[in-house]
Amino acid sequence: MIQHLIQPSFGYSSDVAVHTAVDLNLCVEYGHHYLTISIYKKDQFPISIETYVLKERLDVYTLEYILQTEKYASLAVAEVNLIVNTPDITLVPEKFHKNHLSQSIYNTMQGDLHLSGVQTDHVSQWELSAVYGFDEPILKYLTEKYTFVKTKHFISLALVSLFRNNLEDLDSFIKIYFSQHYLTIILVKGAQLQFAQSIYYETTEDAIYQLLNLVEHHHVDLKYLKALVSGHIDDESATWKELRKYILDISLETTLSIETKSSEQDAVGSHFFTPHLQVLQCV
Name the helix (H) or strand (E) containing 281: helix 274-282
Mean pLDDT to the nearest integer, 235-257: 90
How far, in Å, CA of 240 to CA of 20, rounded? Answer: 40
Q: What Rg do the C-alpha atoms of the chain give, in angstroms?
A: 19
Domain boundaries in the chain?
166-252
Mean of pLDDT values over 126-141: 95
- Cβ proximity of 66 and 3 under 8 Å: no
pLDDT for res 225: 94
Q: What is the DSSP string of 248-269?
A: SEEEE---GGG----GGGTTS-
260 or 130, which is more confident: 130
CA–CA dist 225, 170 (Å, integer): 10
* 3-class DSSP state of 161: helix
Confidence (pLDDT) at 265 = 46
**What count of residues does the chain have?**
283
Pairing of strands 192-200, 182-189: antiparallel
Give me the mean pLDDT over the 234-258 stretch: 89
Rounded CA-CA distance 31/268 in Å is 20
Whether residue 55 contacts residue 47, with contact meaning beta carbons closer than 8 Å, is answered with no
Per-residue pLDDT at 20: 59
Q: Is pLDDT of 253 > 80?
A: yes
Q: How far is CA 13 from CA 37, 49, 160, 265, 280, in A?
A: 12, 7, 26, 9, 15
Residue 257, helix vs strand vs coil: helix
Which class does domain 166-252 fall in?
alpha beta
Judge whether residue 3 has pLDDT over 70: no
| Averaged pLDDT for residues 179-191 | 93
Q: Is the dihedral of CA 107, 110, 194, 150 positive or negative?
A: positive
